Amino acid sequence: MPETADLIVHSAAQIATCASPDGPKRGAAMRDLGLIEDGALAIRAGRIAAVGPTRDIRARFSAPQAIDARGRAICPGLVDAHTHVVYAGDRIGEFEQRIAGATYLEIMEAGGGIVSTMRATRAASVEALARDAAARLDEMLRLGTTTVEIKTGYGLSVEAEMAMLGAIAQLAATHPATLVPTFLGAHAIPPEYRGREDAYVTLVVDEMLPQAAAWYRDSTFAADGVPLFADVFCERGAFTLDQSRRVLEAGRALGLGLKIHADEFTALGGVGLAVALGAASVDHLDATTPADVARLAASDTVGVVLPAVNFHLGSHHYADARALIDAGAALALATDINPGSAPCPSMPLVMAIACRYQRLLPAEALNAATINAAHAIGLGDRVGSLEAGKAADLLILNTADVRHLAYQLGGNVVERVIKNGAVV
Ligand code: NIG
Ligand code: FE
């Protein structure tokens, strides 16, 4: 008697499983996609029951529904491990200022940047924030992203940051993507605290983070075993290393996972802090020193690089992702979608930039956008690879070779998205 499944996807030209049962991929393993030719998956109750050669899967399972994926490549649903997808307004004026020669940090110091999005976000309702973000998540899903980390950080007051968490919860209840919340009260100094930066950090540590942790304890995220992270923007003009340490230590004391924006423009020591505190990830890494590359490589912290930022800011300098992989760091890619430095919903575009400007191979970019990204947000045991027991999150491409995800530029090779076993 064959075992029963709900759905069998079969006859795929190739399946890139990105399988990595023992944690994120490093070094030479980054080039290994765990390919299965003429591959099939059996899906039951939203999860992968088995993956293997079509002949074996069809002999072992019967299912009321089948998808013939002949001539198509299949890969895991993409995981976007760093986003600011909840925001109001845009920064098209700053885009033009930068084209005319202003820099991101100059605009920020002059009271624009993150604080200008803060003004728009504070003025928006939770419903409007969720509605606008849902449209962006829809587009991301069409481009293959099935799991998304989402940060707060455009409220910058207790009330407005909690409203952002409310919008993320509303999205999680209504959108098919799996969402992971991150509390980023320490994203920028709000204008009312200018000159009193330490007092703002005290507000984050004493009031915001405890309220966020209390919100999380009663949330569906906690019930589903999805973590809440605490994050901080460690940068000249944002938060110093000492201030970042205060924020992350407070997050850790509350039992939250940790992340940090480090070395985007200036190396302030954020990598060492992240590694010392056992952070899940350290993100940006554009200005990271060779010593910190080695430190990160020797740790369990995932390095997340965000090359759409460099691209959008018109920079010719990119994080040395090649050195990170070669040193043995667990490297992940993310969009950083936000209205200032990366209005980019597309993980395939990020993979394409990483291949061209950071010298990743397409296979390395795909592992960085799936299994390693899942580890960067604490979901490495649930999503990011096609292995028995994991969520049935997969993409059927309109091409027979998964490398086309990173090779093609500016289009969409994703033909069908299956999320938790259902075609969306
Ligand atoms: O990751 N660097 C800090 N935060 C975002 C930018 C957010 C914004 O400019 O609105 C980033 O690049
Ligand atoms: Fe960011």
| Residue 91 backbone dihedrals phi, psi, to 5 degrees | -130, 45
* pLDDT at residue number 367: 99
85 and 64 co-located in one domain: no
Q: Which ligand is nearest to the CA of 234?
A: 1
Tell whether 98 and 147 lie within a shared domain: yes
pTM: predicted TM-score of the whole model, two decimal places: 0.98
Q: Which of 136, 184, 187 to mutate to test the pocket of ligand 1 (most atoms within 8 A of CB)?
A: 187
Q: How many domains does the chain have?
A: 2
Query: Long-range contacts: 157-161, Cβ < 8 Å, 24+?
Result: 157/122, 157/190, 158/203, 158/207, 158/208, 158/211, 160/118, 160/121, 160/122, 161/185, 161/208, 161/212
Residues whose beta carbon lies within 6 Å of some atom of ligand 1: 84, 113-114, 117, 233, 261, 264, 309, 336, 338-341
**How far out from the chain centre does Cα 230 lie?**
14
pLDDT for res 320: 98
**Burial class for 129, CB neighbours closer than 10 Å (0-12, 13-18, 19+):** buried
Over residues 257-290, the pLDDT tens digits come to: 999 999 999 999 999 999 999 999 999 999 999 9
Distance CA 31, CA 80 (A): 20
Tokens of 307: 């090359």
Q: Which residue, 376, 394, 409, sits at the end of a domain?
A: 376
Ligand 2 center–CA 29 separation, angstroms: 27
Of 376, 400, 415, the last residue of a domain is 376
**CATH code, domain with 32:** 2.30.40.10
The number of the ligand 1 atom at minimal distance from the alpha carbon of 283 is 1
Cα–Cα distance measured from residue 327 to residue 120, given in angstroms and rounded to the nearest whole number? 42
Q: How far apart are CA 280 and CA 121, in angstroms?
A: 28
Q: How far is the CA of 103 from the centre of ligand 1 (A)?
A: 13
Q: Whose CA is nearest to atom 1 of ligand 1?
A: 336
Residues 323 and 230 placed together within one structural domain of the fold: yes
> What is the Cα–Cα distance from 415 to 150, expressed in whole angstroms?
25
CA of 393 to the centre of ligand 1 (A): 28
| CATH number, position 160 | 3.20.20.140
Regions in the chain scoring below 50 on pLDDT: none
**Interhelix angle for 158-174 vs 126-142, to 10°?**
50
279 with 395, same domain? no
Domain that holds residue 52: 3-76+385-423
Q: Which ligand is nearest to the CA of 270?
A: 1
**111 and 224 share one domain:** yes
| 28 and 331 Cβ atoms separated by less than 8 Å | no
pLDDT of residue 267: 98
Q: Note whether 42 and 136 are same-domain residues.
A: no
Residues 166 and 126 in one domain: yes
Q: How many CB atoms lie within 10 A of CB 401?
A: 14
What does the pLDDT read at residue 1?
82
Residues 147 and 280 in one domain: yes
Give the Cβ contact number of residue 410 at 10 Å.
8
* Ligand with the closest atom to the CA of 235: 1
- Domain match, 58 and 146 both: no
In this structure, the answer to whether residues 16 and 159 fall within a common structural domain is no
On whether both 32 and 136 belong to a single domain, the answer is no
- Residues 325, 418, single domain; the answer is no
